[in-house]
A and B are shown apart, each in its own frame.
Chain A
Amino acid sequence: MENSIQGEQIIQDLLPRKFKTGGKVWIGVLTAICLVGAYAYYRQLRYGLIVTNMRDYVSWGIYISNFVFFVAISLVGSLITAVFRLLGVKWGTPLTRIAEMIAVGAIMFASIIIIVDMGSPERFYNLFLYGRIQSPIIWDVIVITTYFFISLLLLYYPLLPDIKILLRFKEKYSPRLYKFYRWLGAFWKGDHKQYLLSKKAINALCIAIIPVAFTIHTVTSWLFATTYRPGWDSTNFGAYFIAGAFLVGAGGVVVAMYIFRTWYRMDKYITPEHFDKMGRVLVLLSLLYLYFNINEFLTPFFKMKESEASYLNDLFTGSFAPMFWFAILTGIILPVIILLFKQGRRPLPMFIVGIMVVVGAWFKRYLIVTPTLLHPFMPMHDVPSAYRHYFPSWEEWAIAMASLAGTMLVITLLCRIFPIIPIQETIDHNHETVK
């Protein structure tokens, strides 16, 4: 009896809620940013890539930096959902859906931003018609599609029991939304056979998503590492990218945890203990990423090969030095120092650290792409001065910001439609704890 009362309370707490004024303003702001980005993209389509500041040297600018950032942050789906689930980490249950929503949103815009970077997107289909299996770009296309599909399934399967619960509250939703819920999972009766099939499927997805997640980011790193350029000519790149991706993904989840906890008053479900444990995970991932960064930069710095010297000097002491040291300090070193203290792992400091990690990670992706392209092994003779410098045009900024806003919009809409925290799993977990 007590269990069922607690269960009803959990359901009431975790049901998706309509947006109030704040939520509507948030949606409006994100939509406005997306519309400005759409106008900038219209200009890019009309006048060509000349509206960007990308030239023959920096042919991958802020778009590809954003792409790498999105791919990185999407990896959190596999970390929180799959790794935690397979390792039997029960405290991670309330975070699984947040992680999957972030993964779906990020991977969607990773795909979109790569098309935005194309000069002639109307020829995109040629990639499938004439793509070479030898090319890492094709590997990336295949693996992103696969990862997106797995992420969708991993979001959908655990939703089925929750949809059954949502369907009990017809009065709370618009007819259209209710119809959508029915279409998604009216067939779920909570039957034992259904439960077994669903559990089997979730386990299979958790196993499948880990190698696919590793592949997606390794292949993305190979887009760079298979190109002979200073800073990219590295055997460390796969592991370096994966470590960085897990870190930014975990940082993203921490930020989302704090926002949802505060916004929807979910203190009971996303507790300081969750922040404390995520803090420990972040410390581990920061140290791991720091280790790979030292590997990535110390040996080239020690050798200081003539062909790489200008690139390295530009990064360490030159025009990119403020951004480089900001990304290293803010995104890796300071989080470790703050999170080593218990006080630092409380919700608010964790939220600030999460933002530091995400912002630092974004700049780190920019630093992976741009300085290398500005320092080719074989510089062109007598190039225009515009080739030697890169700062994104307003169109590039607008499109990049729109893609970030678009990701947040997808996450926000998913939160509006589906429970942010798995209801049935939380009830089951609660029952087990009571027992």
Chain B
Amino acid sequence: MKQLNKTITGLVSFVLIISGYNGFSQSAQKASVNIAINYFNANNSIPHLVVNAKTRVNGRFQPVGGIAVKLLLDKDSAGTTIGKVVTNEKGEAASFIPPSVKQEWASSKTHTFLAVFDGNNKFEATKADLTIAPARMLISTNDKSITATVLQLKDTSWVPVKGVDLKIGVRRLGGDLPVNETPTFTTDSTGQASADFKRDSIPGDSKGNIVLVAKVEDNDQFGNLSVEKTVPWGGKFKYVSTFDRRTLFGTRDKAPIWLIFMSGGVILAVWITLILLVRNIFAIKKIGREAR
């Protein structure tokens, strides 16, 4: 009996240890999350920030949605809060730089954006920063030649920046089409880069307008800058709606004429024959009645 008690006690202790161990392991470790900040300025208007949150799952980066990230300008103090954003299913969140940080923005020629995630039950707290020197871009055209200029604020004036890589293209539905065979251009000492427009056959809107774009992408110093200009260099595009046409996929009142005639002709030919054959029965009947 004693031996049995010992065995039972031993088994129970073992089970408790195992279950205790499992229970302990169930308070899973929080995963780390990577946060990246991107700076955008389009057409020299109000800049905005885009935050990307990712985590590594089975060796692959997966977007992290639904986490709240606090965005700050230069430091965490009163008057420096840009906003609090929540990432979407793609792990992205965006915020414009609000007027509330105007004073802080004007106080320096370079700025550091801070992204702070306080952590939650799944992910550990983390921070990220990005330092940017505000810059602006200009675009001008002359006889199918495009010039893009990059300027940086120094002291109180905008000065040209040399050696910045940029792209010059035409806005299309699926992306930007380079204006010629050169993929990227670099600004010279005047801060300018020029490209010849070689997309003469490109269709524009009804007036032949197309949108030119010059852009700096993922620059370490300036972030993402872009500027657009509309020029009448494209072909005039006349939109022809096929929505209400007679097609095989149209509604019943929009059946193709050829189909209506063809099917109608066949149906009529067969059914007129059949009706005549039914009439024939009555003719046979009449002969039978007369023969009585």
Which residues in A have some Cβ–Cβ distance to B below 8 Å?
A: 130-134, 139, 142, 146, 149-150, 153, 156, 160, 186-189, 191, 193-194, 197-198, 200-201, 204-205, 208, 212
Contact = CB atoms under 8 A, between A and B. Distances in A.
B284 A132 contact: no
A139 B266 CA distance: 11
Given A187-B289, A197-B280, A134 B250 contact: yes
B252 A146 contact: no
B284 A198 contact: yes
Nearest to A164: B288
Interface in B271-292: 271, 273-274, 277-278, 280-281, 283-285, 287-289, 291-292
B288 A191 contact: yes
A208 B250 contact: no
21 contacts: A133-B252, A134-B248, A134-B256, A134-B259, A142-B263, A146-B274, A153-B277, A153-B278, A187-B284, A187-B285, A188-B284, A189-B288, A189-B291, A191-B288, A194-B284, A194-B287, A197-B287, A198-B284, A201-B277, A201-B280, A208-B273
Interface string B245-262: 001111110011001100
A247 B271 CA distance: 28
B270 interface: yes
Contacts of B288: 186-189, 191, 194
Interface residues of B, number: 28
Nearest to A215: B266
B284 A133 contact: no
A133 B287 contact: no
A197 B256 contact: no
A191 B292 CA distance: 11
Complex A-B, nearest 4 residue pairs according to Cβ-Cβ distance, in ascending order? A187-B288, A132-B252, A187-B285, A189-B291
A264 to B, nearest CB: 29
Interface of B: 247-252, 255-256, 259-260, 263, 267, 270-271, 273-274, 277-278, 280-281, 283-285, 287-289, 291-292
Given A189-B288, A197-B284, A133 B277 contact: no
B273 A204 contact: yes
Contact of A134 (B249, B270, B291): B249
Contact of A208 (B252, B270, B278): B270
B242 to A, nearest CB: 15
Contacts of B259: 133-134
Given A134-B248, A205-B277, A212 B270 contact: yes
Contacts of A142: 263, 267
B152 to A, nearest CB: 48
Contacts of A200: 280
B287 A193 contact: yes
A193 B270 CA distance: 25
Nearest to A208: B273
A288 to B, nearest CB: 26
A130 B252 contact: yes
A194 to B, nearest CB: 5
Contacts of B281: 156, 201
Contacts of B267: 142, 146
A146 B277 contact: no
Contacts of B252: 130-134
Contacts of A212: 270
A188 B283 CA distance: 11
Given A133-B263, A134-B255, A142-B267, A191 B287 contact: yes
Nearest to B252: A132
B284 A146 contact: no
B269 to A, nearest CB: 9
A189 B252 CA distance: 49
